């Protein structure tokens, strides 16, 4: 590999030390399915359970200490995504569950004939929960991918927006295609039509800084277990919108009790208490890269994007030049256009057979539809067993990418 890796490369030994799971003979390139977890995050889970594992809300010191740790986690979540207030952060077990809860809380405010626009690109988490509202008379309209360009074209959205549109749900980055959607532009069009925008950022948040206010979104979600953390997820909603939602909790919880009314059974204490570890890591990384005070997160994510683009570019150069390979997603590797989630199929080969061959070389990738079944059908890839997907993160090394390239060339032949 000859691509320039930028300022992050000298820090890779330190970066990888922060993730104990990387101490493995395998090249772990299935990161879109779940990142490795920071040691400092795991330490915080342990510390909470061993030092402050009591119920919140009591007046004795240990309960007060537990509450402080949990609240610090919520504040860290708000800071990471640029939320205006921690009350705008709802935490839960998974993005799928949070979207389902949101749809349930939104349902009483919808009327027969109201329209919700979905895409056939999204993970089913951001589709199924909304289609279930059809039983209340809500009309579902699909913003379809152009199979030729493999893109959601904005003209297609414009054709669907109407005075009846109440909500548009789309992905920030497809977990199959890897392309980045122009969310600010989408938000402006949606708001001009008088609707609200919900964005699934699961496949975006590990790769780029999320600023919900700058993006102009109304709701935003992602899963922490794909952003170096524990198995929990985040829903952001603008405070005035969350206040309008129906209570999902006990009958005596008030309508303005945010976020508790949207967290039935409450959040997971120990996992929430671990979230500051992610911010601390990114802040330290930004500091090591020379960031000015207060700019550490932006600096860290800028370097992450540059590093991942170089690695992704090296892989794409090989795949794009192989006559048997069909790329699924943007063929170019500019950081503004795509993340390091790379999907492809091989002519005359099933995707499972490619993955099995790579596993013999201790390379962990994956095949399938990745719960984006509507997308796989639209692209005609069901019979091949879906796509082969390799997904890179900032802790991925040039050597691991080269190992993947060489194994692919052994499996499908040189270009």
Per CATH, the number for 42-278 is 3.40.640.10
| pTM for the model | 0.97
Query: Which pLDDT does position 1 carry in this prediction?
Result: 46
* Token pair in block for residue 229: 């953390």
- Which class for 75: exposed (0-12), middle (13-18), buried (19 or more C-beta within 10 A)? middle
| Fold held by 9-37+294-412 | 3.90.1150
Q: What is the per-residue pLDDT for 3?
A: 46
Place of tokens 């048997």: 324
- First CA to last CA distance, the chain: 16
Sorted by where each begins, the domain ranges of the chain are: 9-37+294-412, 42-278
- Closest C-alpha among 283, 277, 280, 308 to residue 298: 283
Per-residue pLDDT of the chain (415 residues; tens, 9 = 90+): 444 568 999 999 999 999 999 999 999 999 999 999 999 999 999 999 999 999 999 999 999 999 999 999 999 999 999 999 999 999 999 999 999 999 999 999 999 999 999 999 999 999 999 999 999 999 999 999 999 999 999 999 999 999 999 999 999 999 999 999 999 999 999 999 999 999 999 999 999 999 999 999 999 999 999 999 999 999 999 999 999 999 999 999 999 999 999 999 999 999 999 999 999 999 999 999 999 999 999 999 999 999 999 999 999 999 999 999 999 999 888 888 999 999 999 999 999 999 999 999 999 999 999 999 999 999 999 999 999 999 999 999 999 999 999 999 999 988 7
Q: What is the pLDDT of residue 4?
A: 58
Q: Are 119 and 169 in contact (CB under 8 A)?
A: yes
Nearest CA to 140 among 157, 152, 127, 154?
127
Under 8 Å between Cβ of 48 and 410: no
Contact 13, 285 (CB under 8 A): no
């Amino acid at each position: 590999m000859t691509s320039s890796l930028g300022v992050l490369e000298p820090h890779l030994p330190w970066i990888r030390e922060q993730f104990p799971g990387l101490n493995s003979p395998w090249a772990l390139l299935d990161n879109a399915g779940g990142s490795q977890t920071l040691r400092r995050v795991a330490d915080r889970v342990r510390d909470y359970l061993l030092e402050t594992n009591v119920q919140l809300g009591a007046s004795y010191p240990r309960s007060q200490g537990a509450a402080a740790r949990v609240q610090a986690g919520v504040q860290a979540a708000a800071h990471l995504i640029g939320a205006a207030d921690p009350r705008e952060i709802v935490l839960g077990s998974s993005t799928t569950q949070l979207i389902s809860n949101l749809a349930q809380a939104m349902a009483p405010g919808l009327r027969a004939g109201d329209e919700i626009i979905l895409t056939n690109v999204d993970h089913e988490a951001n589709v199924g929960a909304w289609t279930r509202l059809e039983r209340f008379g809500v009309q579902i309209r699909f913003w379809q991918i152009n199979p030729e360009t493999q893109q959601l074209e904005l003209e297609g959205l414009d054709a669907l927006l109407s005075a009846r549109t109440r909500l548009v749900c789309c992905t920030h980055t497809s977990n199959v295609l890897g392309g980045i959607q122009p969310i600010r532009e989408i938000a402006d069009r949606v708001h001009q039509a008088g609707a609200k925008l919900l964005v699934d950022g699961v496949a975006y948040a590990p790769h780029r800084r999320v600023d919900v206010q700058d993006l102009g979104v109304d709701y935003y979600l992602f899963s922490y277990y794909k952003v170096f953390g524990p198995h929990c997820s985040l829903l952001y909603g603008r405070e005035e919108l969350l206040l309008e939602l129906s209570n999902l909790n006990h009958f005596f919880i008030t309508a303005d009790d945010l976020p508790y009314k949207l967290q039935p059974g409450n959040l997971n204490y120990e996992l929430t208490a671990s979230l500051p570890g992610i911010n601390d890591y990114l802040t330290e990384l930004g500091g090591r890269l020379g960031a000015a005070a207060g700019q550490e997160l932006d600096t860290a994510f800028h370097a992450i994007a540059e590093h991942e683009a170089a690695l992704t570019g090296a892989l794409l150069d090989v795949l794009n030049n192989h006559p048997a390979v069909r790329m699924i997603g943007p063929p170019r590797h500019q950081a503004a256009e795509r993340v390091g989630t790379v999907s492809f199929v091989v002519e005359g080969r099933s995707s499972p057979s490619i993955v099995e061959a790579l596993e013999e070389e201790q390379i962990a990738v994956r095949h399938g539809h990745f719960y984006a079944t509507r997308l796989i059908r639209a692209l005609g890839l069901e019979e091949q067993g879906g796509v082969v997907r390799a997904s890179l993160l900032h802790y991925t090394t040039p050597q691991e990418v080269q190992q993947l390239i060489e194994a692919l060339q052994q499996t499908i032949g040189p270009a």
